[in-house]
Structure 1
């Protein structure tokens, strides 16, 4: 009969020896630390944690041990495998942090930079201002009237009581259209104001007439911060029975509130225009200080120069001579007319300081207004 089995055979369990396990853990740690990126770390994980790794093969040897030795060997190998997994997790965390930092640095986007250097176009604020004018007056039952920009001298001057020898005619700084013979006697001009539209309306319509006439006009001015050879005007005309200056004042006050906000009113200063009698220049209550800067050195106002009012345009009752020239009986009908620059109105309303910004076509200027009129 054979003798009792040997309870522990070192030759069969050499892979489970403490020295062998420590060597496996050290090799795994060294391989993990040597991994320069996540791909290399994945390869090291397969070699030292996978099914064919030294520790996995050593774990299989536990089955060859006697029952009394299996528990102790199992504890040693579990500790070794736990140490390897911890070393892997630490290196994985470090490499992922390095990757995230690198990606953040390489792919950072400066959100303060222009997103597109080729800006799209925008509707010009003059266009939207003219549309606002139309909205304000059509809401009152008025009509929008238009006329040609190349105008006959008769409509531009004579019909408006500006005769050939009238001094106002020379002050218009007019662009005359050259005729076929090379002289300026073609009888045509680039209109100096939108008042010719009023004359055309009176000649083609029967009162009552309520029209507003926005449009482009031309004068031989130099382009600077406050002047332009090409600009836009807004004119209004009313012809009806019993029209007085009170109707004119009420219309201007309504327009001022529509453009500049509640509480903004106008005042009329006596003036002279050949096509209105009496004539006046409407001033606008300063929409910044609302008159509170007048006589108040502690609160100066740059917009109105601490005067409380801002010059806005011209107005008056339509001159009877203009009514007769356009075929309307001044003994039956009366009317008023007013006019102001659209650029000036827009500059007031939107705090634009330089006329050149309006006409230079820089989309950065127009884009700032968006769809706001």
Structure 2
């Protein structure tokens, strides 16, 4: 099929910043795009050929949207899977496949998949209701501390909480969830695996992630991870096994724990471009968004090696600020060598909302990390008074 400057139409479910960055690449190649999102102010709206306003979770909306595209992909996994299955039955190509999405969309199902396929992961228990957790604790079947995770619809640190006592459960929602063993880890790592429709596979270098202690959001992504080579190889091997077993087509971001004994455990996965791969826009020969396109269109996969060391700094809304956004001191950051800001186009800020990111590239990883710290301290994402 001829994708370039043709009648081919790519459908994208989700119009957020990941979709916007994917559209950088479709515009580069002149691939026609159609985007569905529930927000009138979706970042994708300014860059796609067609924009459709509607719910990603509504069967009729998703089915109607997908009927006239050639290939349908996602930038968020919380979508109506029944509609995608029907589209697949009618001959629409959906990547990642709906079967893979069903495994990934529910965290309890995802964890059971790891157990069934002998993929190392932290121990866990599955609960239909929050009240069952209290019963399990009283019956001494579950011990503090543990990590509570909502089974579905968690995002950007929402739906995850370390529970150290019964009082920590009080403010949590009551639906399906898991209680996961709290892993004493040395590092949080991630590996992005690209797999094409014909089965070609490539991995990006292992990255190291540093999290905000309160928001449970990534603050820094560091590439390459500052770990021994044998640990990096082990992490890539585990990530490749997950991608193969789950039948992914496109990108799969595999988040991992490196224990103090240098064992690798899978935390969770995302079947799409991911925050842990944003550094690749400036630092890699083939960035993650172009690679996702190559994979789902069954084109040759690109070179995943890095040109330089890269660090990504997330720009999130400052605490205590809600309203029309202002980026303070952005001009001072732009004066630094190797620094590139990406502003997502969200007009309203609120505490910890992802508003953009900054990439720092440098020949020296430690120097890049120093500059990243300066960037983090300098830029303030606040609201107009």
The structure with more radius of gyration: 1
Q: Relative contact order, CA 8 A, sep 6+: which one is greater?
A: 1
Alignment TM-score, normalising by the size of structure 1? 0.22
Alignment TM-score, normalising by the size of structure 2? 0.22
Name whichever structure is richer in helix by fraction. Answer: 1
Name whichever structure is richer in strand by fraction. Answer: 2
